[in-house]
Structure 1
Amino acid sequence: MITSKQRSYLRGLANSITPIFQIGKNGIEEAFLKQVAEALEKRELIKITVLENSELETREASDIICQQIGCEGVQSIGNKIVLYKQSKKNPKIELPSNSK
């Protein structure tokens, strides 16, 4: 679980990245989850767009993905989702410490 300070830091990093996945009318399938998990392992922070023809709301889609692959939902705003998961092999993003 990440703290609000860490979440804020990740939101700042996410401002400059573009969405690499889209959730459409097919919803969230197993192949999609596998691709998202691989992208998170490689990049640690990704952005996803939820299209208007999707039957899922943005927050709902974020919750489903986080539950399935064990990542952190950083932000769900408008039709964009930002997800974070620390890489097991090659961590790149260093989160601020929990201490004040």
Structure 2
Amino acid sequence: MPLTTSQKKYLRGLTHDLKPVVMIADKGLSDNVLAEIEQALDHHELIKIKLRGDREQRGEWIARLIASTGAEKVHSIGQVVCLYRRHPKKPVIALPR
């Protein structure tokens, strides 16, 4: 289910205090990094990821992250992207309607 504008706005407010849980750098988006992101999404639902690469590379990484995790992009600013994926059984974040 895609996020509404008001839900994205709410989640953006929550991301201000978050610190990046994963950093993707020179070695790129490996299977180990994807597994760590999956685990972080399961545990936190809303995560911040630091992407250390040029603009084109960051765009490819973001597209691959969204496709492989099923998460929604809340926003991205510079080298940081914030992703949200609701936990199917025990949601932690209550989204507005």
Q: What is the TM-score of this pair, normalised by structure 2?
A: 0.90
Alignment-mate amino acid for residue 42 of structure 2: E
SS of 2:61's equivalent? helix
Runs of at least 4 residues off by over 6 Å: none
Q: What is the TM-score of this pair, normalised by structure 1?
A: 0.88
User: 1:62 touches 1:76 (CA, 8 Å); kept in 2?
Assistant: no
Q: Among the aligned pairs, what percent are the same residue? A: 34
SS of 1:49's equivalent? strand
Q: Which residue of 2 aligns with 1:31?
A: 32
In the TM superposition, what whole-angstrom CA distance separates every residue of 1:49-93 from its partner, at most 9, and x where no partner exists? Answer: 112479722x33222101011000111111101000001232110
Alignment-mate amino acid for residue 7 of structure 2: Q
Q: Which residue of 1 aligns with 2:21?
A: 20
Alignment-mate amino acid for residue 32 of structure 2: A
CA distance in 1, matches of 2:4, 2:10: 10
- Stretches of structure 1 lacking an aligned partner (at least 5 in a row): none
What does residue range 1-100 of structure 1 map to in structure 2 within 5 Å?
A: 1-52=2-53, 56-57=57-58, 59-97=59-97
With over 3 angstroms needed to count, the CA separation of the structure-2 counterparts of 1:32 and 1:51, relative to structure 1, is: same
RMSD: 1.7
How many residue pairs get aligned? The number is: 96
Alignment-mate amino acid for residue 75 of structure 1: H
User: 2:22 touches 2:36 (CA, 8 Å); kept in 1?
Assistant: no
Q: Which is helix-richer, 1 or 2?
A: 2
